[in-house]
Amino acid sequence: MKNNIEKTDLSSSRGGSVYKSSVVSIGSTPLGGNNPIRIQSMTNTDTLDTKASVAQCIRIIEAGADYVRLTAQGIREAENLAVIKKELRKAGFETPLIADIHFNPVAAETAARLVEKVRINPGNYADKRASFDKQEFTDAEYNEELGRIHTKLLPLINICRENKTVIRIGINHGSLSDRIMTRFGNTPKGMVFSALEFIRIFRAENFSDLVLSMKSSDTAIMIEATRMLIKMLQSEELPYPIHLGVTEAGEGEDGRIRSAAGIGALLAEGIGDTIRVSLSEDPEKEIPVARKLAGYYPRGISLKAPDKPLTYKVPSSKPEILKRINGPLIVSNMTSYPELNSVVYNNAGFKTDTITGEIKKTGGSADLIIVKNCPEIIPENVFLVLPYRIWSDKREIDRIYPLFSPETFQDSTYVSGKLNLLLTGSHFNIEYLRNPDPETVLVMFTFNPEKEKYATDYFLNALEENNLSHNIVLNPVFSENNLEDLQIKASSLLGRYILDRRVTGISITNTGDIDLKDVTALAFSILQCTETRITRTIYLSCPTCGRTKFNLQESVKKVKEATGHLTGLKIAVMGCIVNGPGEMAGADYGYVGAADGKVHIYRGTVPVLKNVPEKDAVTELLKVIQKDQANL
């Protein structure tokens, strides 16, 4: 078994045809194929509390969910799903229910007789909690382990077959088995092989009513693992439906942006049959966000996209200004203002000293500001881009650079020896992009995503086909009046290009009624949430569920208030220890529910304080961080 698994080719996760899934029947709501992208959420009530669970299921359904998931951590909770389902049906709701299982095969077998779908986690269904210790297996021992798992899965398979219950094989980056992590690491490849182990057992039993998911709190890992999975499924002609989600996405703006960047990247490629946006908020609030994502990349839209190249050409050099930036560039378009003043600088992320009036750079200040006119005095750390005719008259001034069209750049008498910004769009002429030197030129690609959502793909592919490599700044032009709509659209559109390292920077233009300061902040938040440029503390927090041991939303707020002044750390706030240690494997610190009113404090994946009273937990977390920083 081991050798067969390891022969599966996952060498490239890009390129290839559009993935077309098969259809599985989840109650009265089929999933996959040409059916609409289905939306779901998960309750955060105690599953033994029938009244509260039914009420929350109804709120989720009325918000627009196609499926509702409930945790069943034990047999009693699994049995109570029948009562909850009965009450929902009595109230006139036929929405299929899903049981979420960790560590308890008997609970899964119980639930499979009662609900339409069961989610199991291969990392802990038949294995104990991962210890993150290397456990070397011989081929014989590895095959023996797979045989043990097969035996443990067989009752569930037979029950699901008898009851027409669908199974989701839900892989979590944070909860792979020690067996998988020893052989493949806590990696996207490990996630795919974890799924493959279970898929082959189900195939051996001729059971095909499966849904698959690759989830992580890291958008890049979630995307890469899902792409790898799709490649494997295509190579073996296994068209299972795909569930998409970014775990521990958080709450508020960051939760929406992180989810949109990860889920949107895959929906844009035609991958995804059902989505769950995991926010640390009331679960019904997830549904409108998921609906907007599914609406932005509806079923079939990826047929308009060109094939992706298997490899991307990366510029071998870049302008000096980019070498000083640890991550993608942010360009702020302020050409709507006729003159520069403090309002313009504040909208570009700078702050004005209330006493001196001095313009000061912050972690969220744009790297370049495009303006119409050149001021007499340019504040320190401000870099301006001007129309080339205005620039040419003042080109001796430091920290100003010219803006050209590719055509005028070719014929211009004067160009900058440091940085030139070439503005082009979907009607580009490739001939004018053959000669510019990437060491002194940025190419800014402007397009209207509502009319030409895949314009960037065609443009980047044209560069690849002509063996050209340029430092590209993407500039989608939106016309949104609602900030959440802009956050979701811009993040889902730009995330995949940033994460694939196909572009050097981003600039968001919006002609609607949204403050330009919020537009600049959004650009930085997209980079923050994709972890391509960190300018503040990263917070990961899970959506609450029936396993949560404290008021997670309140805890997230307290942790942020206590640590918001820190920069560059990743802090995870987790409701329980089911996925906590693994899901926050990339976090510096963790605040994890251990029991009612008790919290474990983690440094990385190691608990340094256990069973801290909840009222003291935030203070103790801050003490651990402060002590570590003092010892640096």
530: exposed, middle or buried (C-beta count within 10 Å: 0-12, 13-18, 19+)?
A: buried
Give percent of the chain with pLDDT exceeding 90.
64
Residue 252 pLDDT grade (very low, low, confident, very high; cuts 50, 70, 90): confident
pLDDT of residue 225: 96
> What is the mean pLDDT of the segment spanning 452-456?
95
pLDDT of residue 17: 60
Do 191 and 175 contact (CB within 8 A), yes or no?
no
pLDDT of residue 581: 58
Whether the predicted pLDDT of 9 surpasses 60 = no
Whether the predicted pLDDT of 443 surpasses 90 = yes
pLDDT of residue 130: 56
More confident residue, 309 or 327: 327
- Weakest mean pLDDT among 113-117, 162-166, 466-470: 466-470
Whether the predicted pLDDT of 131 surpasses 60 = no
- Weakest mean pLDDT among 193-202, 365-374, 465-474, 545-554: 545-554
The secondary structure of residue 16, as a DSSP letter, is S
Average pLDDT, the chain: 90
> Closest by alpha carbon to 541, among 486, 499, 590, 610?
590
pLDDT of residue 546: 52
Helix pair angle (286-296, 252-267), 10° resolution: 30
> What is the mean pLDDT of the segment spanning 11-36?
83
User: How far is residue 360's CA from residue 382's CA, in Å, rounded to a whole number?
Assistant: 9
Whether the predicted pLDDT of 335 surpasses 90 = yes
Q: Is 175 helix (H, G, I), strand (E, B) or coil?
A: helix
Q: Which residues contact 181 (CB under 8 A, 6 or more apart)?
A: 130, 132, 134, 190
Whether the predicted pLDDT of 22 surpasses 50 = yes
Residue 315 pLDDT grade (very low, low, confident, very high; cuts 50, 70, 90): confident
Q: What are phi and psi of 83, to 5 degrees?
A: -70, -45
> What is the mean pLDDT of the segment spanning 479-488?
97
pLDDT of residue 547: 56
Whether the predicted pLDDT of 175 surpasses 90 = no
pLDDT of residue 2: 42
> What is the mean pLDDT of the segment spanning 7-34?
78
pLDDT of residue 134: 61
Do 220 and 530 contact (CB within 8 A), yes or no?
yes
> What is the mean pLDDT of the segment spanning 385-390?
94
pLDDT of residue 401: 96
pLDDT of residue 185: 85
Whether the predicted pLDDT of 604 surpasses 70 = yes
Query: Number of H helices and number of E strands within the chain?
Result: 20, 26
More confident residue, 13 or 446: 446
Whether the predicted pLDDT of 323 surpasses 70 = yes
H/E stretch holding 168 reads strand 166-172
